[in-house]
Structure 1
Amino acid sequence: MISAAIVGLGRWGRNIVEAASGHDRLKIIRAVEPDVDTAREFCNRHHLDFGPTLDAVLADPAIKAVLLATPHSLHPAQVIACAAAGKQVFCEKPLALHRADAARMFDACRKAGVLLAVGHNRRFWPSLRTLRDIVASGELGTLLHIEGHNSNENSQSITAGWRLSEAESPGGGLTGAGLHVLDAFVSMLGPVRQISAQLHSRKAGPPPLDTAMLMMDFVNGVTGTLSTIRATPFYWRVHVFGTKGSAEVLDEATLIRRVSGSKPMRHTFPAINVLRAELDAFADAVEGSRPYPVPEADVLATLAAFEAALASMKSGQPVRCDGQ
C-alpha cells in the first residue's frame, strides 16, 4: 500500500480524496490545508490526519507519496521539496506556469529517484484515448488540421480566491480549461512551433467574461485552433482532420468518425471514474509496473506552447515556442 498525503483541500483536492476512497494500492492518510477550520469536517469524515503545513508530511517516513492540488505558483517549490524528501509526487496541472520551472522540477525528481506525475485527467477519457489511437494508426491519412474547445462555467460560482488571480491563472480560461485541450493536441501531434493568441475581456468580474483564442502551427506541419470561454456551460470538442477522414471527441464518452461517402459513425463508450483511472496510473508508475502515461516531453511541450500563447496575447504578435 502506498501511503499518501494530499496537499490542498479545495474543490479539486477533495475530488481527489473522494476518487482515492477504497483504493487497494493508494491510501491518502494525511492532508495539508492552511484553512484548518474549513478542512476539519471533511478530514474527520475521511479519517485523515491534517495540519496547516507541508513540513510535517515531508518529515514523516510513513508517507511515501504526496499529491498536490495547490495554487499553480506553489508547485515548483513544493515539488522540489517533496523530491528532496524522497516522496513520490503527483501534481495537478499545470505543473508550472513556466516551462523552465517544470524542467527544474522534473530534473529534481529524476535526481532524487522519485516519480513526478502530472494530473492531466482528460487523457484518461475513453473517447480521447481512442482518438489518440486513431491518429496514431494513420487511418485519417495525412493530418492537416486540429480544432479544440473547452468551456467551463465553474467561474460563475467562483467569486474570490487564487483561481481569479491573473498571476495564478493567466490567459483567461486558458490555464484552467484550455490547457486540457492544448495537452490533448500535444499528446497526438507533438510540439507546437508557433502560436498567435488573443484574449478578449468583456468584464473583469467576478465572474469574468472573456474568451481566449489560439492559432498554432505544429512542428510536423499540422495547423490548429483552440478557444475557451469561462462563462458558458461546459462544452468540449477536439476534432482532427486528415486527407482520408476526420474524428472528433465531444465528451468523455462520445467520438464521431467521418469518411467521405459514408454517414458519420458515432461511438459511445462506457463511463469510467476518470480520476480513479488517473490514480491507478500513478500507483502503477510508483510500483514500476508501467510508465505514467503523461511523458515529461509532452508536459514541457505543452507548457512551452502555453507560455508562447500568453506572450502572444500581450504582444499581439505570433510567438515561437521555447526550443522551436
Structure 2
Amino acid sequence: MTIREEKPVIAALVGLGWWGRKMATLVNAGGSGMHFVHGVDPNPEAAGFAAEMGLRYSTDMADALEDPAVEAVVLATPHSLHREQIARAVGAGKHVFCEKPLDLTKAGAEASVALCREAGLVLGMGHERRFETPIASILEAASSGKLGRLLQIEANFSHDKFLALDPSNWRLRAEQAPAGGMTATGIHLTDLAVKLMGPAKDVRVVCENLASSIPQGDTMSAHVRFSGGGTAYISATLATPFISRFAVFGTEGWIDVRDKAHVEAPDGWVVTEGWKNKPITVRELPPAEPVRDNLKAFAAAVRGDADYPISGTDLINNIALLEAIVRSANTGLLEPI
C-alpha cells in the first residue's frame, strides 16, 4: 500500500522576535506540516536569524504576500497590528495563523473572524494550551460529561520573564499589553475557560503594581461569572517565578494540571485528579510540544484534512471577556461582557 505524503503548507513568518524564533525553530525541525520560506521583521538585526533558518528575509510583509507560493501567513507580532495584518493577508488570499490575543476588542475579533470565514480561509490561533496532553484530556472529560456539571475553574499562569526586558519593549506598554499579564499569559486561561463554560456574563478585576515599574501592573486577578452559571478565578502575574496551573471542578470530579516548565521549553506535567467515591491520584506526564501540534492542526485544516479545533465563536467569546477584563482593571468595577 502506498502512503500519500502530504505536501507541507508553504508559509511566511511575520515577526522574528522571541516567540517567532520559537516557532521557526520548531517548524524547521519538522513534524508540523508546515514549511517557512519567508521571514519578515522590521528590525534588520533579524536578517541573521532568517538566514540561519534558510528564510528569505524582508522588512515588509508585502513581499511575502506577493509570493504566489506562500499559502499561509503566521503572525508573531504585537496585538495592535493583528487586525490590519489579517486583513492584508486575507486580501492576498492567504490563510492566517495569529499569535494571541487575536485583538483587544470584541468588534475587532468579530471583523477578523468574519473576513477569514467569508473568504474561505483558515484562521488559526496561538492557543497552544489546548494541545497540551492533560488539557486536551480535561476538554474531553468535560465534553463527554465525565466531569458532570462544571462548577468552577481556578487558573494561574504567571512568570517574571518580563522584568528583564528593555523598558522600550512593546510588551511593557500598557496600551499594547494592558491588565498585568492578561495578554501574555492570562489570555490562554480565559480561552480554556470560555471553551469549557461558555460565554462570560461579567468580571471583576484587581490589577496592582506591587513589585515592579511595569506600566500595566504586575499583579492581576480576575473573577469571572458565566452566562450559563459557574465561575472562574484567573491570575496572571508578571513578578513571580514561573507557575502554570489549571484546575476544573465538576460534580463528578476535578482535575488539577501543573506545568513543570514554561511552554517555550516543555518538561511535562503533574496531574492530580479526584473522582467521586475514588481516592485522589497524582501522576506525571512526559513532555510534548503543543506549539508544534497547534501549527500541525492549522496545516491540516488548510489542507482540508480536518476542521481547525478552535472555532471563531470561541475566539470572539475570549476577546469579549478580555475587553471586559481590561475595563475592570481600570475601573475596579464589575464589568458586563
Normalising by structure 1, what TM-score? 0.94
Structure 1, residues 237-285: CA drift from partner, whole Å, max 9, x if none? 1111222321111125332111355431123333212211111101100
Match of 2:262 in 1: none
Aligned pairs for 1:243-322 (under 5 A) are: 243-251=251-259, 252-321=268-337
CA distance in 2, matches of 1:315, 1:22: 46
**What one-letter code is carried by the residue in structure 2 that aligns with 1:277?**
D
Is 1:235 the equivalent of 2:251? no
> How has the CA–CA distance of structure 1 residues 196 and 206 changed in structure 2, closer, same or farther, with 3 Å as cutoff?
closer
Unaligned ranges ≥5, structure 1: none
Match of 1:53 in 2: 60
CA distance in 2, matches of 1:142, 1:70: 38
1:147 to 145, 154, 158: 154
Normalising by structure 2, what TM-score? 0.91
The worse-fitting range, judged by mean Cα deviation, of 267-276 and 292-301 is 267-276
CA distance in 1, matches of 2:216, 2:163: 8
**What one-letter code is carried by the residue in structure 2 that aligns with 1:73?**
S
- Write out the 4+ residue segments of structure 1 that deviate beyond 6 Å after TM superposition: none
**SS state at 2:209 partner:** strand
CA distance in 1, matches of 2:199, 2:160: 29
Give the C-alpha shift of residue 138 in structure 1.
2.2
Structure 1, residues 160-218: CA drift from partner, whole Å, max 9, x if none? 31000001100011110111111111121111111111101125525986211111111
> How has the CA–CA distance of structure 1 residues 224 and 199 changed in structure 2, closer, same or farther, with 3 Å as cutoff?
same
Q: How many residues align?
A: 320
> How has the CA–CA distance of structure 1 residues 2 and 243 changed in structure 2, closer, same or farther, with 3 Å as cutoff?
closer
Match of 1:40 in 2: 47
> How has the CA–CA distance of structure 1 residues 267 and 135 changed in structure 2, closer, same or farther, with 3 Å as cutoff?
farther
CA distance in 2, matches of 1:262, 1:81: 54
Give the C-alpha shift of residue 305 in structure 1.
0.7
Percent identical pairs in the alignment equals: 34
Structure 1, residues 76-101: CA drift from partner, whole Å, max 9, x if none? 00000000000111000101111111
Match of 1:121 in 2: 128
Q: Could you tell me whether the CA contact under 8 Å between 1:159 and 1:207 is conserved in 2?
A: no
Q: Could you tell me whether the CA contact under 8 Å between 2:173 and 2:215 is conserved in 1?
A: no
Give the C-alpha shift of residue 223 in structure 1.
1.4
> How has the CA–CA distance of structure 1 residues 103 and 207 changed in structure 2, closer, same or farther, with 3 Å as cutoff?
closer
Q: CA RMSD in A?
A: 1.6
**What one-letter code is carried by the residue in structure 2 that aligns with 1:307?**
E
**SS state at 2:101 partner:** coil
**SS state at 2:38 partner:** strand
> How has the CA–CA distance of structure 1 residues 319 and 208 changed in structure 2, closer, same or farther, with 3 Å as cutoff?
closer
Match of 1:159 in 2: 166
Q: Could you tell me whether the CA contact under 8 Å between 1:87 and 1:114 is conserved in 2?
A: yes
Is 1:185 the equivalent of 2:201? no
CA distance in 2, matches of 1:113, 1:259: 43
Is 1:12 the equivalent of 2:28? no
CA distance in 2, matches of 1:302, 1:195: 13
Structure 1, residues 271-319: CA drift from partner, whole Å, max 9, x if none? 2122111111011000011111111111111111111111112222111
Give the C-alpha shift of residue 13 in structure 1.
0.3
Unaligned ranges ≥5, structure 2: 1-7, 260-267
> How has the CA–CA distance of structure 1 residues 34 and 151 changed in structure 2, closer, same or farther, with 3 Å as cutoff?
same
**What one-letter code is carried by the residue in structure 2 that aligns with 1:98?**
T
Structure 1, residues 112-165: CA drift from partner, whole Å, max 9, x if none? 221111110111100100111122232333222111111022112212310000
CA distance in 2, matches of 1:207, 1:268: 38
Is 1:175 the equivalent of 2:183? yes
Give the C-alpha shift of residue 74 in structure 1.
0.3
The worse-fitting range, judged by mean Cα deviation, of 9-18 and 128-137 is 128-137
Match of 1:31 in 2: 39
Match of 1:223 in 2: 231
